[in-house]
Amino acid sequence: MAEKPKRPHLGLAQYPLLLTLEPEGHGLGGQVLELAGPEEVHVHQKDGILICDSFLLGQCLERERCPRHHTPNPFHWQMRRQADGVWLSIGTSAQQHLENLYCSTSHHSVKLVDKAGLSWTLNLNSMDLKPTQLYDRPVRWELLAAFEKGMWNHAFELRGRLYNVDLKKMTQRNVRTGFTRRILHRPIFRPPWRLAPHLRTGPGATLSSPSAIPGEDPQGTYWGPYPASWVPKAPVGTMYTLAEVAPAERAYETTCTLFHKTLAEDKALVLAVYRVRNDYLWQKYCGQKKFMAQIRPCASRRFLERHLFHGTMASKVQPICEMNFDPRVSGENGEAYGQGSYFATDASYSHTYAKLGEASLCHMFLAKVLVGRSARGKPRFRRPPPAHDGRLYDSCTDCAKKPQIFVIFDSCQCYPYFLIRYKLLSEPVAVDS
């Protein structure tokens, strides 16, 4: 059986902002810095306990003595072990995945899996979990938001018809005709990056806006040191550092907004965004950007750089972070517009190359790309064609008027700026991830 402790009426969430070292984080290799877990988290074993509003707002004075649940989010999914009656919390990523599915009225059941290869089917209406050999106890729970305010009945008008909703019976009645139907009540899912500014479930941090971080704007002309200076340099023996971006940062919001523009939130769930710091690659990129900017008019410099997507498999993440995108291996995924590295304006296109990895995870880069002047590409191109002035174009594309695909032939013209780790919602929920 699965249960969520009854949620407060607040409906907000945030990940904490401290960074902690994970030497082998998610098999990505290199130095990986991840967000630390919130302090003073505890979940009680008794039934019927609510999540603490005050803790979510950073105002609980009772701390570990608080009789309510202290969880990082205003929801928390657990499974009760049949052998000893202990409630076990599912993993951090699984919390977001399962909550997202639950909030959709189109999902009535979901498949759960664990690393041991076991699987269950969870009925999202009754909270029954089958088979029940390991986990049991079907428990129904209901949202308290309207009930706490005494709103057992609610009237509303839709398309000129007046309806009355009974929150006790969970029915909707047409006031004029008396026709009654059952309703399904689910909360609205809000991803961490939309909710992070509202909660204080972890240590606070001062976060910069894009205007305060040079290099975050693709239309800017910054070519100085790596902009996110708080991300430590790679230690001796490694080439790069991956630093998880806090959902409260504007960079996280911008990245997710671009990502979900073509990969809808009800299709894909962003689990983490990482900054990639590789000083060697960054210096090469900035040197190329400075050179390309200086040979063109000031008015056209803002079209020099773009932020574009590049989907890949998990095994290619480390080589890309270490040595950049390699135009020499373009034939692996086709070369319709030239024999180079491919980038796309739409995450949905790049997703076709983001192969499912362990725990059904997908990986996609949001890269900085110096597209400059573009010409329509051809399969035989190993470099851009010459322009009317005799100089080569800077990149190739699928369409000159409204390009969606760009091909780069020189690795100095791209940098793996952000790494997005995500999962398709159609995949089973990995409860221990």
Tell me if 193 is assigned to some domain: no
- Who wins on pLDDT, 195 or 418? 418
Q: How far apart are CA 107 and CA 400, in angstroms?
A: 42
Task: Clarify whether residues 82 and 212 are in a common domain.
Answer: no
Q: Is residue 34 part of a domain?
A: yes
**Which one of 118, 139, 160 terminates a domain?**
139
Are 246 and 353 part of one and the same domain?
yes
| Better pLDDT: 410 or 223 | 410
The pLDDT of residue 241: 93
Q: Is residue 196 part of a domain?
A: no
* Chain mean pLDDT for the chain: 81
Indicate if 114 and 166 belong to the same structural domain: no
| Sheet architecture: strand order including 119-123 | 129-130, 119-123, 109-113, 429-430
Of 338, 353, 346, the residue nearest 395 (C-alpha): 338
In this prediction, residues 230-235 reach a mean pLDDT of 88
- Say if residue 65 is in the same domain as residue 96: yes
Question: 237: which 2 tokens?
Answer: 């023996």
* Per-residue model confidence (pLDDT) at position 331: 62
Structural domain boundaries, residue 162: 146-182
CA 355, CA 378: separation in Å to the nearest integer?
26
* Cα–Cα dist 245/253, whole Å: 10
Statement to judge: residues 231 and 348 lie in one domain: yes
pLDDT over 70 for what percent of the chain? 82
Q: Is residue 269 part of a domain?
A: yes
258 and 404, same domain (yes or no): yes
**pLDDT computed for residue 354 by the predictor:** 92
> Could you tell me whether strands 374-376 and 395-397 are parallel, antiparallel, or unpaired per DSSP bridges?
parallel
Query: Average pLDDT, stretch 237-242?
Result: 91
Instruction: Pinpoint the alpha helices (H) of 78-222.
Output: 92-102, 145-148, 192-195
pLDDT at 206: 40
Question: Residues 352, 308: one domain?
Answer: yes
**197, part of any domain:** no
Residue 331 lies in a domain: yes
What's 295's domain CATH number? Answer: 3.90.228.10
Separation of alpha carbons 267 and 263, rounded Å: 7
Most confident among 13-17, 33-37, 158-162, 399-403 (mean pLDDT): 399-403
Looking at the domain assignment, is residue 189 inside a domain?
Answer: no
> Both 28 and 176 in a single domain?
no
104 with 165, same domain: the answer is: no
Tally Cβ neighbours within 10 Å of residue 387.
12
What's the whole-model pTM score?
A: 0.81
**What residues contact residue 68 under an 8 Å CB cut-off, 6+ apart?**
44, 49, 50, 51, 52, 55
Residue 264 and residue 403 share a domain? yes
**Mean pLDDT on 9-38:** 50
How many independent structural domains does the chain possess?
A: 3
Summarised one tens digit per residue, pLDDT across range 74-115 is 888 888 888 888 888 888 888 889 888 888 888 888 999 888
Residues 177 and 281 in one domain: no
